[in-house]
Amino acid sequence: MEPLFQVETAHDADAYGNMVTVHYMLHEKNPIWALYILAVVVAVAIWWLAAAGNYTSLSALGTGIFCLAFFLLGVPYVDRFAAQRVCRRMEKQVVKAARKNGAYGKPIRYRFFDDHLDSADSAGSTETPYDQITDLVETAGYLLVFLKSGQCVLARKKDFTLGDPAALFPLLEQRSGKTPRTFQMPRRGR
Mean pLDDT of the chain: 88
- For the cut 90, the answer to whether the pLDDT of residue 133 exceeds it is yes
Contact 143, 157 (CB under 8 A): yes
Q: Are residues 51 and 90 in the same domain?
A: yes
Q: Tell whether 125 is covered by a domain.
A: yes
Do residue 77 and residue 132 come from a single domain? no
- Percentage of the chain lying above the pLDDT 70 cut: 96
Are residues 31 and 83 located together in one domain of the fold?
A: yes
pLDDT at residue 29 tops 70: no
- Tell me the residue range of the domain where 155 lies: 5-11+105-182
Distance CA(117)–CA(119), nearest Å, equals 7
In tens, the pLDDT along 34-91 reads: 888 988 999 888 888 888 888 778 888 888 889 889 988 998 888 888 888 888 888 8
> Does residue 73 sit in the same domain as residue 93?
yes
Q: Are residues 122 and 154 in the same domain?
A: yes
Between the two ends of the chain, the Cα-to-Cα distance in Å is 46
Query: Does 190 reside within a domain?
Result: no
Are 111 and 83 in contact, with CB atoms under 8 Å apart? no
- Within 8 A by CB and 6+ apart from 77, the residues are none
How many other CB atoms sit within 10 Å of the CB of residue 65?
12
Give me the sign of the Cα torsion angle 57, 62, 63, 65: positive
Mean pLDDT: which of 54-58, 119-123, 144-148 is highest?
144-148
Percent of the chain with pLDDT over 90: 42
Whether 190 has a pLDDT exceeding 50, the answer reads no
Distance CA(141)–CA(53), nearest Å, equals 58
Is 140 inside a domain boundary? yes
- Write down which residue in 99, 128, 161 finishes a domain: 99
